[in-house]
Copies of this chain bind each other. A is one copy, B any other.
Amino acid sequence: MSGKLTVVGLGPGSAAQLSPEAAAALQAADLVLGYGPYLDRVPARAGQRREASDNREELGRATRAWSEAAQGANVAVVSGGDPGVFAMAAAVCEALERGPGAWRDLELAIVPGITGMLAVAARVGAPLGHDFCTLSLSDNLKPWSVVERRLQAAANAGFAIALYNPISRARPWQLDRAFEILRTLLPAATPVVFGRAVGRVDERVRVTALDRAEGSDADMATCIIVGSSETRVLERPNNTALVYTPRSLGAFTT
């Protein structure tokens, strides 16, 4: 079999953040599969087939990609951000493990991208400049009790926390519950960054404090960063404030 599957990270949204390696992989593909809004960001190429599917259809899309590759196609599966962070790379591996053994002979390449939390962090300073955790708030694929336990562990151990999949129509209360838990463990003034659609025309970035953070400030396109107790807000009279976590623990207490 001569087909190939490439999982391609599109980055946060701006074409200026798409790597040359990713652009080349998209250009080379016979067939591109992905969630519709991500496919819309792939530069058009004559003769290339495209198939959009819903963002809840990850395993089905991955299985379809392997099946097309097994028939000889050069298939690209796209993810926003990085495909390895709550995205298609794991689904492609899982579909391979569940699929026909012959698929394991096919070539697989994964092209990394700039994941959302890095783009959000860059917009405001360096909130992820020290140890941090990256957590999906979705309880579609794990019990909510596990989410709560991980939030508590991360906050208690002094990690900053990046939250993916914070809210959706089907999951309306989870983010406020997460803030409620974090408020019992972290100072009220802990900085919280809401970064929505960073790098795209509808970008919106807002910094607030944990005691004022509200779930209604986020939507599906938002990545949230909650600081640790070390994270600082640096005011600039003629510029937006910066949010950063110093590289040293206790940098400003000694």
Q: Which residues of A contact B (CB under 8 A)?
A: 9, 11-12, 14-21, 24, 58, 82-87, 89-94, 96-97, 104-105, 107-108, 110-115, 118-119, 121-123, 125-136, 141-143, 146, 149-150, 153-154, 156-159, 232, 234-239, 242, 244-249, 251-252
Contacts and interface: CB of A to CB of B under 8 A. Distances in A.
A82 B118 contact: yes
Nearest to A153: B157
A249 B155 CA distance: 21
Contact of A131 (B17, B135, B252): B135
Contacts of A146: 158, 249
B135 A134 contact: no
A86 B236 contact: no
A108 B153 contact: no
Contacts of A159: 133, 150, 153-154
A113 B112 contact: no
A15 B19 CA distance: 9
Contact of A136 (B12, B20, B131): B131
B158 A126 contact: no
Given A15-B20, A19-B16, A89-B122, A107 B239 contact: yes
Contacts of A134: 128, 131-134
Contact of A150 (B82, B131, B248): B131
A193 to B, nearest CB: 12
Nearest to A238: B105
A118 B85 CA distance: 8
A251 B115 CA distance: 24
Contact of A113 (B16, B114, B244): B114
Contacts of A150: 131, 157-159
